[in-house]
Amino acid sequence: MSYDRLTHPLVRENGVLRQASWEEALERAAEGFRRNVAEHGPDCFAMLSCARSTNEMNYVGQKFTRVVIGTNNVDSCNRTCHAPSVAGLSAVFGSGGGTSSYQEVEDTDVIVMWGSAARNAHPIFFQHVLKGIRKGARMFAVDPRRTGTAQWADLWLGLNVGTDIPLAHAVAREIIHAGLHNEAFIERATSGFEEFKESVEPWTLSVAEQVTGVPAAAIRELAHSYARADRAQLCWTLGITEHHNATDNVRALINLSLLTGHVGRYGSGLSPLRGQNNVQGGGDMGAIPNRLPGFQDILDPGIRARFESAWGRPIQPRYGHNLTEMLEAMAEGEVTTCYLIGENPVQSEADSLACIKRLSMLDHLVVQDIFLTKTAQMADVVLPASAAWCEADGTFTNSERRVQRVRKALEPPGEARDDIWIMCEIARRLGHDWHYDGAEEVWNELRALSPQHTGMTYQRLADLQGIQWPCPSEDSLEPPYLHGRLWENDPSKRGTPAPFAVLRHSPPVDLLDDEYPLRLTTGRRLDSYNTGVQSSGFASPLRRGETVELCPEDAERLGLTEGEEVRITSRRGSVTAPVYIDPALRPGLVFMTFHFPDEVDTNSLTIEATDPISGTAEFKAAAVRVEKLVKAG
């Protein structure tokens, strides 16, 4: 299917959405929030803030939540992808950002792409990887599928889904046993090495081969190459983070960098490649339940006091609900109203049937989007927004922490209005008269409150074609990588040592058995973008619909031919789609995207098991069976 842009506000009347004036729609939106908060208190409200929209929009979104409503219940799709990376990195280094710049993969010796289909999903970053390879870097790909990325690798480690910790542990053990760990760095800059060393001891190459499916020789080669390299970059994405133990997975990779000293230097670092164009920025702006703008901890009374005096309202001294918890709180009747900006959870959440049920329990749902998504179709009020990437002014922040300007080039269609304008109009109706004379004024308010952005004036951002954070003053130019402090000779400048983590292997929650013998992993293709809202209309000539990808051996075993319609069933749901035979898969593995909502609701199959630290769901591991469709008659 293809979506048309939203051009008018809509309100629900007698069960159906009808066109409305802005005045009526804004009033309805505000009235529902007012009524619910008066009845249940501010924590009955939840906002999802748009990771595709600007930093300025996200700043205003979290301010709306904290100041107009008075709760910390604000989050975004960061929860479905890199929240575990942020949690893991900030636990070790105090900052949740990737440590390196894109340029550094061109100037490194070893690149490890771990659980990342970057060739399809991060093509700009992958251009830098290719340049690095051309300059002589060795590349390793760790992925259950032999992806486009893996095809460029010197060595592909095709592991079983959910066995990343055993693999990382075996790599670590091999490095230690070969005496290739960086003792000086470990001694000076880390803590907990002895316990870590002991914890990986059982993971010999042969034990790991049995559990992960990766040949011992390949594990050994990765270990030796990574440890011996002068410089090495470890990059990961959702193959690591969309698991029930995702933060542990992230910590397992960080352990490898601490073991070898591959962090805090030019060319050596850790890069979680972020998903949506501005999901890094959304979190930086405080559109997450535990941080104020500038990634500043809400539990710190001094930080809260600064924001309270700037905003003129007390801030709750506790974390709000993340996206996963918001949905649970809807089921409990604790969250009764939701302001959803540029997110489509009906289709993107794990176990979508449960998600739909929870959203339908809300008293008042406001959706602000550029298309009439499946989620918007459930709303009481639909507000048509401008598309941030070309119809609004502001800034975006990419995975290397680089803030860049975006400029309005087109007028939004029909009556669609800027995201910030819409939020301010609702705020005004709720008693907060904010005047922002354009995005720059919002940005300057943020700069005054966030030390890591203070030096980034719009003028400097334009002159320098973007600036990486941290940028504390207008004359500062920091190195392109983080945590150089770990290498300081003077111990007082080195700061807190980076801790190793002791971790245990925990296989996927959805167990394989005779009834559900195949492992479904979900993800992306080059020609499909997330829930399809922004790409279905255009992608259809490229790929007409969802397919169930299987390796040739499994297809033969099940007696299936390419194009044949099959039923795929998990413990939660069942859909049908044609088979696509892909030799990139390993036996026992099934692959699908979540891109074609009406035809195939993939997320009715996935499991809602979530990582307790970050709240991210195990999208990457469901147990399923695939059956021939028996034709009626």
Ligand X SMILES: Nc1nc2c(c(=O)[nH]1)N[C@H]1C(S)=C(S)[C@@H](COP(=O)(O)OP(=O)(O)OC[C@H]3O[C@@H](n4cnc5c(=O)[nH]c(N)nc54)[C@H](O)[C@@H]3O)O[C@H]1N2
Contact 85, 241 (CB under 8 A): yes
With CB under 5 to 8 Å by kind, the binding choice for 547 among Mo ion, ligand X, none is: none
Report residue 372 as tokens: 């009439």
With CB under 5 to 8 Å by kind, the binding choice for 368 among Mo ion, ligand X, none is: ligand X
Provide the residue type at 433 as one letter.
D
Residue 93 or 396: the one with the smaller Cβ distance to ligand X is 396
Whole-number minimum distance, CB 350 to ligand X, in Å? 7
How far is 82 from 64, CA to CA, in rounded Å?
Answer: 24
How far is 441 from 447, CA to CA, in rounded Å?
Answer: 10
Residue 311 or 389: the one with the smaller Cβ distance to ligand X is 389
Whole-number minimum distance, CB 321 to ligand X, in Å? 17
Residue 118 or 258: the one with the smaller Cβ distance to ligand X is 118
- State how far the alpha carbon of 432 is from the alpha carbons of 65, 131, 290, in Å: 12, 51, 23
Q: Which residues bind ligand X (CB under 6 A)?
A: 50, 52-53, 77, 80-81, 114-118, 120-121, 142-145, 147, 159, 161-162, 164, 237-240, 242, 275-276, 341-345, 348, 368-371, 373, 385, 387-388, 419, 521-524, 526, 528-531, 533-534, 594, 602-603, 606, 619-620
Strands (E), 441-595: 467-468, 498-499, 518-522, 548-550, 565-569, 574-581, 589-592
With CB under 5 to 8 Å by kind, the binding choice for 213 among Mo ion, ligand X, none is: none
Provide the residue type at 593 as one letter.
T
Q: Which residues bind Mo ion (CB under 5 A)?
A: 81, 275
Q: What one-character-per-residue DSSP string does 597-620 give?
A: TTT--GGGTS---B-TTT--B-TT
Residue 190 or 606: the one with the smaller Cβ distance to ligand X is 606
With CB under 5 to 8 Å by kind, the binding choice for 263 among ligand X, Mo ion, none is: none
Residue 199 or 344: the one with the smaller Cβ distance to Mo ion is 344
Whole-number minimum distance, CB 83 to Mo ion, in Å? 10
Q: What are phi and psi of 79, to 5 degrees?
A: -65, -30
Report residue 239 as tokens: 């193959």
How far is 89 from 19, CA to CA, in rounded Å?
Answer: 46
Contact 117, 147 (CB under 8 A): yes
Residue 81 or 326: the one with the smaller Cβ distance to Mo ion is 81
Whole-number minimum distance, CB 590 to ligand X, in Å? 11
With CB under 5 to 8 Å by kind, the binding choice for 255 among ligand X, Mo ion, none is: none
Contact 481, 104 (CB under 8 A): yes
With CB under 5 to 8 Å by kind, the binding choice for 287 among ligand X, Mo ion, none is: none
Beta bridge partners of 318: none
3-state secondary structure of 112: strand
Whole-number minimum distance, CB 64 to ligand X, in Å? 13
With CB under 5 to 8 Å by kind, the binding choice for 569 among ligand X, Mo ion, none is: none
Residue 369 or 445: the one with the smaller Cβ distance to ligand X is 369
Whole-number minimum distance, CB 80 to Mo ion, in Å? 6
Beta bridge partners of 11: 18, 381
With CB under 5 to 8 Å by kind, the binding choice for 529 among ligand X, Mo ion, none is: ligand X
